[in-house]
């Protein structure tokens, strides 16, 4: 292990890590919004939209992100829709993540007993109040483990962004290995940077889950 090599490569990895985080968290933020909307549509079986959302979820959950990125980055320009690599990364991650988040949120919604809705309505709450103040807090709490797992999964999926020429961590590692053949150093730094990105997410997710359980949500 050559520590001088690691020190000289460090600025390149830091820059790549910032790009990875930027695209990853933007994609995750949009995936949460998309997943939440899709879960509501599927759970309450909104006509027409329910079927469209079902097709979208099955399509994106059962195809690799790499293929989706290729379609967005190389396929869409063929029909006159050109997007840059960063936007493609965010969009691809949001669409993939939205499908997984939707199922996580939906499972949380379906874990709530119907009697809770009936009780809230019988107490004079409107259906909207029931959803926002009774159903959603419990559903979100129940979804936390799957939600955190999805975030970790999506951050790891950023490793395929190198396929569309984004200078992310994986692209940087492969580029440096190809140029200087410092395989051990490059891969060690790649592992360390992904651990730095992913471990805090797992730890914070576990803490949040425990606090929600202790507060009585999701029981």
Q: What is the pTM of this model?
A: 0.85
* pLDDT given for residue 218 in this prediction: 47
Residue 219 has pLDDT above 60, yes or no: no
Cα diameter, the chain: 71
- Express each pLDDT in 68-105 by its tens digit: 999 999 998 888 888 888 999 999 999 999 999 999 88
With pLDDT > 90 as the criterion, what percentage of the chain qualifies? 43
Task: List the structure tokens of 167.
Answer: 């200078």
Which domains does the chain carry?
3-215 (1.10.3720.10)
Quote the CA–CA distance of 75 and 88 in Å, as a whole number.
11
- Express each pLDDT in 7-32 by its tens digit: 888 899 999 999 999 999 999 999 99
- Express each pLDDT in 120-129 by its tens digit: 878 788 877 8
- Express each pLDDT in 154-165 by its tens digit: 999 998 988 888
Task: List the structure tokens of 15.
Answer: 């820059």
């Amino acid at each position: 292990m050559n520590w001088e090599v690691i020190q000289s490569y460090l600025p390149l990895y830091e820059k790549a890590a910032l790009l990875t985080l930027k695209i990853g968290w933007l994609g995750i933020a949009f995936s949460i919004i998309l997943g939440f909307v899709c879960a509501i549509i599927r759970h309450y079986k909104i006509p027409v939209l329910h079927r469209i959302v079902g097709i979208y979820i099955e399509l994106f959950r059962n195809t690799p992100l790499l293929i989706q990125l290729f379609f967005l980055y190389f396929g869409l320009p063929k029909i006159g829709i050109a997007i840059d690599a960063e936007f493609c990364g965010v969009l691809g991650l949001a669409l993939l993540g939205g499908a997984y988040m939707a199922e996580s949120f939906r499972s949380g919604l379906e874990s709530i007993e119907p009697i809770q809705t009936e009780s809230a309505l019988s107490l004079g709450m409107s259906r909207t109040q029931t959803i926002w103040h009774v159903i959603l807090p419990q559903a979100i709490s129940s979804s936390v483990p799957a939600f955190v797992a999805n975030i970790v999964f999506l951050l790891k999926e950023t490793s395929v962004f190198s396929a569309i020429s984004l200078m992310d961590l994986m692209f940087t590692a492969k580029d440096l290995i190809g140029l200087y053949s410092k395989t051990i150093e490059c891969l060690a730094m790649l592992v360390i940077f992904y651990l730095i990105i992913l471990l805090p997410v797992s730890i914070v997710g576990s803490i949040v889950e425990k606090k929600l359980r202790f507060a009585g949500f999701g029981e």
